[in-house]
Amino acid sequence: MAEALALNALALLAAVLALWVLSVALGKVSFVDSVWGLAMAGLALLSWWQADARDLSATILMAMVLAWGVRLGVHLLRRFLRNGEDKRYTKMLPSPDDRGAFALTALWKVWLLQAALIMLVSSPAQVGILAASGAGAIGPLAWMGMALYCTGIFFEWVGDWQLARFKADPANQGKVMNTGLWRYTRHPNYFGDACAWWGIFAVALSIDFGAVIWTLPGPLFLTFTLVKWSGAAMTEDAMRDKYGEDFARYTRRTSAFIPLPPAAA
């Protein structure tokens, strides 16, 4: 397993370095967001290809990550192509006109950091797939994980779809999205993301508890970053500045993360 994980890491590093060179040429790095999901999907597929026993459980686990990662990657790539560079990165990095400073800062602060976090967060799937024994039995823990994953996929996919439709309507310009799933949680997409990866972790755990339990920091870190770091917290800081009192009213009425019935206005 160690050799397979090392090959995964080398493949990811090679891809990241190539994309870093592209980002320097473009003077933009926002497409790194799409790499998050696509790289995890690629690592799951590479792990499955290297696995000694590509049994049913390993194949299901690979398919779960593949479906999640490709959908998210394509969604975020389309957003980058439509909107261009994200303001988060323009604030974080030197001007692209200073090519040397931009390149070095983007390398360590964006691309290499992203690669390390991708390996960490996707570690349950990689280890679970590689640890497959060939038994192929689907036990209760795996069924629970798949149910949680499907719940997460529903919230993430439907939440993104509803938000895209809301933003596409000119009548909603300057308004806060507060309908559909967004009526019950301020971040259905991030909530869904967390559920999907806890579901993946549960399925991987059902394959080899002893090996996969060491990957627990992966879903823990993902949940932390979705709630407190680059997910909900950063998004809400920007929305407070943009929407003011409208967003304040929305936060008083709507659950921050876990879907709940809205409070009285």
Chain segment 67-118, per-residue pLDDT in tens: 999 999 999 999 999 988 888 888 889 988 888 999 999 999 999 999 999 9
pLDDT of the residue at 78 = 92
* Cβ pair 33, 183 in contact under 8 A: no
Q: What is the pTM of this model?
A: 0.93
Question: CB within 8 A of 238, min separation 6: which ones?
Answer: 87
One-letter amino acid for residue 119 of the chain: M
| pLDDT beyond 70 at 136 | no
Averaged pLDDT for residues 115-129: 97
pLDDT of the residue at 179 = 93
pLDDT tens for 29-52 read: 999 999 999 999 999 999 999 998
Q: What is the mean pLDDT of the chain?
A: 93
pLDDT of the residue at 265 = 61
- Distance of alpha carbon 58 from the chain centroid: 21
Higher pLDDT, 133 or 201: 201
pLDDT tens for 205-221 read: 999 999 999 999 999 99
Higher pLDDT, 138 or 25: 25
Using CA atoms, how far apart are residues 105 and 93, in angstroms rounded to an integer?
Answer: 6
pLDDT of the residue at 1 = 83
| pLDDT beyond 80 at 183 | yes
Q: Please list, residue by residue across 183-208, b when 16 or more beta carbons sit within 10 angstroms of its beta carbon and e when fewer do.
A: bbbbbbbbbbbbbbbbbbbbbbbbbb
Question: CB within 8 A of 90, min separation 6: which ones?
Answer: none
User: Of 119-128, 136-145, 213-222, where does mean pLDDT reach its minimum?
Assistant: 136-145
- Model confidence at 133, in pLDDT bands (50, 70, 90)? confident
Instruction: Using only the alpha carbons of the chain, give its radius of gyration.
Output: 19
